[in-house]
Amino acid sequence: MESIALIIVLAPLAGAILAGLFSVSRKVAHRITITGVGLSFILSLVVFKQVVLDGLLPFADGTAKEVTLYTWLSSGNSIFEIGFLIDSLTAIMMVTVTFVSWMVHIYTIGYMADDEHNWSGPGGAGKNSYQRFFSYISLFTFSMLMLVMANNFLQLFFGWEAVGLVSYLLIGFWFQRETAVYANLKAFLVNRVGDFGFLLGIAAVLMYFNSLNYADVFANANNLAGISIQVFPGVEWSLMTVICILLFIGAMGKSAQFPLHVWLPDSMEGPTPISALIHAATMVTAGIFMVARMSPLYELSTTALSFVLVIGAITALFMGFLGLVQNDIKRVVAYSTLSQLGYMTVALGASAYNAAIFHLMTHAFFKALLFLGAGSVIIAMHHEQDMRKMGGLKKYLPITYWTALIGSLALIGFPGFSGFFSKDAIIEAVHFAYEADRPGAMFAYYSVVIGVFITALYSFRMFFLTFHGQERMDEHTRSHLHEPPKVVTLPLILLAIPSVLVGVIALQALLYGNFFGDAIYIAKEHQVFTDYHGILGFVLHGLMQPPVYLAAAGVFTAYMLYMKWTDIPARIQHRFSMLHRILMDKYGFDRFNDWFFAGGARQTGNLFSSIGDKTIIDGFFVNGSAHLVNRISGILRQLQTGLLYQYAFAMIIGLLLLLGWFVHF
Amino acid sequence: MIKLIFYLFAGILIFAGTRVITVKNPVHAAMFLVLSFFSSAAIWLLLEAEFLAMTLVLVYVGAVMVLFLFVVMMLDINLTVLREGFARYFPVGALVGSLILIEMLLLVGPNYFGLDKFQVPDTASTVPNTVALGRVLYTEYLYAFEIAAVILLVAMVAAIALTMRSKRQNKYQDPARQVEVSAHDRLKVLKMPAEKAQ
Amino acid sequence: MNFTVTDLSLMLPEIFVLSMACIILIVDAYLPERLRDLTYQLSQGTLVGAAILTLGIQPESSTLLMSDLFISDAMSVVLKSFVYLIVFAVLLYSRAYLHNHKLFCGEYFVLVLMATLGMMVMISAHHLLTLYLGLELLSLSLYALVAIQRDSSQASEAAMKYFVLGALASGILLYGMSILYGLTGTLELSEIAKAIATGQIEPQLLSFALVFIIAGLAFKLGAVPFHMWLPDVYQGAPTAITLFIGSAPKLAAFAMVMRILSEALPDLHHDWQNMLIILAVLSIALGNIVAIAQTNIKRMLAYSTISHMGFLMLGLLVAKPDGYSAAMFYTIVYALMSMGGFAMLLLLSRAGFDAENLDDLKGLNTRSPWYAFIMMVIMLSMAGIPPFLGFWAKWAVLSQVVAHGFIWLAVLAVIFSVIGAFYYLRIVRLMYFEEPSDTAPLQVNTDMHLAVSVNGLAILALGILPQPLLQVCIQSIS
ipTM (interface predicted TM)? 0.91
> What are the tens digits of pLDDT across the range A361-385?
888 888 888 888 888 888 888 777 8
Distance from CA of C33 to the nearest CA of A (A): 38
SS3 A107: helix
pLDDT on residue A414: 83
- Name the band, by pLDDT with cuts 50, 70 and 90, for residue A270: confident
Residues in chain A within 8 Å Cβ distance of C422: 626, 629
Query: Is A648 in CB contact (< 8 Å) with chain C?
Result: yes
Query: Is B107 in CB contact (< 8 Å) with chain C?
Result: yes
Residue A499 contacts by C-beta under 8 Å, 6 or more apart in sequence?
Answer: A362, A365, A366, A369, A406, A407, A410, A417, A418, A419
Burial class (CB in 10 A: 0-12, 13-18, 19+), A72: middle
More confident residue, C350 or A248: A248
Residue B111 contacts by C-beta under 8 Å, 6 or more apart in sequence?
Answer: none
Distance between CA atoms of B66 and A18, rounded to whole angstroms?
74
- Whether residues B35 and B112 fall in one domain: yes
When scoring A644, A647, A651, A659 by the number of chain B Cβ atoms within 10 A, the one with the most, hence best to mutate, is: A659
Amino acid identity for residue A651 in this structure: M
Amino acid identity for residue A342 in this structure: G
Q: Classify residue A53 by its DSSP letter.
A: I
Degrees to nearest 5, angle at CA B59 with B53 and B62: 105
- Whether residues B46 and B86 fall in one domain: yes
Residue in A closest to C392 by C-alpha: A73
pLDDT at A563 > cutoff 80: no
Distance from CA of A300 to the nearest CA of C (A): 38
Residues in chain B within 8 Å Cβ distance of A663: 103, 107
Instruction: Please give the C-alpha separations between residue A134 and each of A29, A31, C362, in angstroms, as whole numbers.
Output: 7, 10, 38
Alpha helices in A72-177 (DSSP H): 88-111, 129-149, 153-171
Query: Is C133 in CB contact (< 8 Å) with chain B?
Result: yes
Those residues of chain B whose CB sits closer than 8 Å to some CB in chain A are: 93, 96, 99-100, 103, 106-107
Q: Strand C63-65 to strand C70-72: parallel, antiparallel, or no bridges (unpaired)?
A: antiparallel
Is the bond leading into A296 cis (omega within 30 degrees of zero)? no
Whether A487 and A379 have beta carbons less than 8 Å apart is answered as no
pLDDT at C162 > cutoff 90: yes
Q: What kind and span of H or E run contains A238? A: strand A236-238
- Whether residues B67 and B115 fall in one domain: yes
In a domain, C1, yes or no: no
> What are the tens digits of pLDDT across the range C127-154?
999 999 999 999 999 999 999 888 888 8
Cβ neighbours around A547 below 10 Å, total = 25
SS3 A59: strand
Contact B158 C144 (CB under 8 A): yes
Distance between CA atoms of A341 and A311, rounded to whole angstroms?
11
- Whether residues B112 and B155 fall in one domain: no
Ramachandran category for residue A587: left, alpha or beta (phi over 0 → left; psi -120 to 50 → alpha): left
Contact A633 C292 (CB under 8 A): yes
- Counting every residue written for chain A, the total comes to 665
In a domain, B184, yes or no: no
Distance between CA atoms of A104 and A137, rounded to whole angstroms?
9
Domain of residue B160, residue span: 125-167
Lowest-pLDDT range, A26-30, A382-386, A431-435, B8-12?
Answer: A382-386
Name the residue facing C165 among A648, A653, A655 (closest C-beta): A648
Question: What does the pLDDT average to over A83-89?
Answer: 85
Contact C144 B162 (CB under 8 A): yes
- Whether residues B133 and B163 fall in one domain: yes
Residues in chain C within 8 Å Cβ distance of B154: 111, 114, 137, 140-141, 144
The closest of C193, C176, C195, C175 to C185, measured between CA atoms, is C195
Residue in A closest to C206 by C-alpha: A663
More confident residue, C85 or B185: C85
| Whole-number average pLDDT of chain B | 83
Specify the number of domains making up chain C: 1
Cβ neighbours around C192 below 10 Å, total = 24
pLDDT on residue C174: 95
φ and ψ at residue A229, rounded to 5 degrees = -125, 160
Answer positive or negative: Cα dihedral of A208, A211, A213, A215: negative
pLDDT on residue C176: 93
pLDDT at A565 > cutoff 80: no
pLDDT on residue C19: 95
Answer positive or negative: Cα dihedral of C420, C424, C426, C429: negative
When scoring C213, C292, C391 by the number of chain A Cβ atoms within 10 A, the one with the most, hence best to mutate, is: C292
Instruction: Please give the C-alpha separations between residue A616 and each of A621, A625, A626, C415, in angstroms, as whole numbers.
Output: 7, 12, 14, 19
More confident residue, B51 or B183: B51
In a domain, B192, yes or no: no
In a domain, C2, yes or no: no
Name the residue facing B162 among C114, C133, C147 (closest C-beta): C147
In a domain, B49, yes or no: yes
pLDDT on residue C5: 60
DSSP for C459-470, written as a single string:
HHHHHHS-HHHH
Specify the number of domains making up chain B: 2
Question: What does the pLDDT average to over A128-137?
Answer: 85
Query: Is B135 in CB contact (< 8 Å) with chain C?
Result: yes
Residue C299 contacts by C-beta under 8 Å, 6 or more apart in sequence?
Answer: C231, C234, C235
Distance from CA of B129 to the nearest CA of C (A): 15
pLDDT on residue C1: 45
Question: What does the pLDDT average to over C295-319?
Answer: 92
Question: What does the pLDDT average to over A592-598?
Answer: 76
pLDDT at A290 > cutoff 70: yes
Residues in chain C within 8 Å Cβ distance of A664: 204, 207
Contact C144 B150 (CB under 8 A): no
Query: Is C174 in CB contact (< 8 Å) with chain A?
Result: no
pLDDT on residue B25: 81
Residues in chain C within 8 Å Cβ distance of A71: 467
Domain of residue C73, residue span: 12-477
Distance between CA atoms of C190 and A492, rounded to whole angstroms?
79
> What are the tens digits of pLDDT across the range A137-172?
899 999 999 998 888 888 899 999 898 888 888 888
Residues in chain C within 8 Å Cβ distance of B162: 144, 147-148, 150
pLDDT on residue A121: 65
- Whether residues B22 and B118 fall in one domain: yes
- Name the band, by pLDDT with cuts 50, 70 and 90, for residue B123: low
Contact B162 C148 (CB under 8 A): yes
Q: What kind and span of H or E run contains B114? A: none
Name the residue facing A656 among B100, B106, B107 (closest C-beta): B100
pLDDT on residue A497: 87
pLDDT on residue C326: 93
- Name the band, by pLDDT with cuts 50, 70 and 90, for residue C3: low
In a domain, B5, yes or no: yes
Beta strands of A1-131 (E only): which ranges? 66-75, 78-85
> What are the tens digits of pLDDT across the range A303-354?
888 888 889 888 888 888 888 888 888 888 888 888 888 888 988 888 888 8
Burial class (CB in 10 A: 0-12, 13-18, 19+), C460: middle
Amino acid identity for residue B198 in this structure: Q
Distance between CA atoms of C323 and A70, rounded to whole angstroms?
26
Please, what's the b/e burial string for B168-186 (b: 16 or more CB within 10 A of its CB; e: otherwise)? Answer: eeeeeeeeeeeeeeeeeee
Contact A659 B93 (CB under 8 A): no
Residues in chain C within 8 Å Cβ distance of A73: 467
In a domain, B85, yes or no: yes
- Whether residues B31 and B80 fall in one domain: yes
Distance from CA of B20 to the nearest CA of A (A): 18
- Whether residues B52 and B112 fall in one domain: yes
Q: Classify residue A233 by its DSSP letter.
A: T
In a domain, B178, yes or no: no
Residues in chain B within 8 Å Cβ distance of A653: 96
SS3 A75: strand
pLDDT at A126 > cutoff 70: no
Residues in chain A within 8 Å Cβ distance of C403: none
More confident residue, A275 or C265: C265
pLDDT at A236 > cutoff 80: no
Cβ neighbours around B21 below 10 Å, total = 9
Whether C124 and C76 have beta carbons less than 8 Å apart is answered as yes
Distance from CA of C144 to the nearest CA of B (A): 5
- Name the band, by pLDDT with cuts 50, 70 and 90, for residue B81: low
- Name the band, by pLDDT with cuts 50, 70 and 90, for residue B15: very high
Degrees to nearest 5, angle at CA A219 with A215 and A221: 115
Q: Classify residue C261 by its DSSP letter.
A: I
Distance between CA atoms of A276 and A492, rounded to whole angstroms?
12
- Whether residues B84 and B17 fall in one domain: yes
Degrees to nearest 5, angle at CA A128 with A123 and A134: 140
Query: Is A76 in CB contact (< 8 Å) with chain B?
Result: no
Amino acid identity for residue A508 in this structure: Q
Contact A664 C204 (CB under 8 A): yes
With pLDDT > 70 as the criterion, what percentage of chain A qualifies? 97
DSSP for A361-415, written as a single string:
HHHHHHHHHHHHHHHHHHHHTTS--BGGG---GGGT-HHHHHHHHHHHHHHHT-T
Residues in chain A within 8 Å Cβ distance of B100: 652, 655-656, 659
pLDDT at A66 > cutoff 90: no
Burial class (CB in 10 A: 0-12, 13-18, 19+), A663: buried
- Name the band, by pLDDT with cuts 50, 70 and 90, for residue A232: confident
| Whole-number average pLDDT of chain C | 90
CATH of residue B47: 1.20.120.1200
Query: Is A633 in CB contact (< 8 Å) with chain C?
Result: yes
Question: What does the pLDDT average to over C217-245?
Answer: 92
Contact C130 B136 (CB under 8 A): no
Lowest-pLDDT range, A218-232, A372-386, C99-113, C150-164?
Answer: A218-232
Contact C228 A647 (CB under 8 A): yes
Residue C288 contacts by C-beta under 8 Å, 6 or more apart in sequence?
Answer: C303, C304, C307, C416, C417, C419, C420
> What are the tens digits of pLDDT across the range A516-538?
777 778 777 777 776 676 777 77
- Counting every residue written for chain C, the total comes to 478
How far is CA A573 from its chain centroid?
A: 33
How many Å from the N-terminal Cα to the C-terminal Cα in chain A? 72
Distance between CA atoms of A658 and A192, rounded to whole angstroms?
55
Residue in B closest to C182 by C-alpha: B113
> What are the tens digits of pLDDT across the range C12-66?
999 999 999 999 999 998 888 888 889 999 999 999 999 999 999 888 888 888 8
- Whether residues B57 and B142 fall in one domain: no
Distance between CA atoms of A501 and A361, rounded to whole angstroms?
12
Distance between CA atoms of C430 and C168, rounded to whole angstroms?
40
Cβ neighbours around A419 below 10 Å, total = 30
pLDDT on residue C137: 95
Residue in C closest to B159 by C-alpha: C144
In a domain, B177, yes or no: no
SS3 A617: helix
Residues in chain B within 8 Å Cβ distance of C134: 147
Contact A644 C161 (CB under 8 A): yes
pLDDT at A280 > cutoff 80: no
Query: Is A632 in CB contact (< 8 Å) with chain C?
Result: yes
- Whether residues B83 and B102 fall in one domain: yes
- Whether residues B88 and B103 fall in one domain: yes
pLDDT on residue C336: 93
When scoring C12, C129, C145 by the number of chain B Cβ atoms within 10 A, the one with the most, hence best to mutate, is: C129
Question: What does the pLDDT average to over C405-427?
Answer: 90
Residue in B closest to C107 by C-alpha: B161
Distance between CA atoms of A416 and A430, rounded to whole angstroms?
21
Question: What does the pLDDT average to over A427-434?
Answer: 85
Contact A663 C204 (CB under 8 A): yes
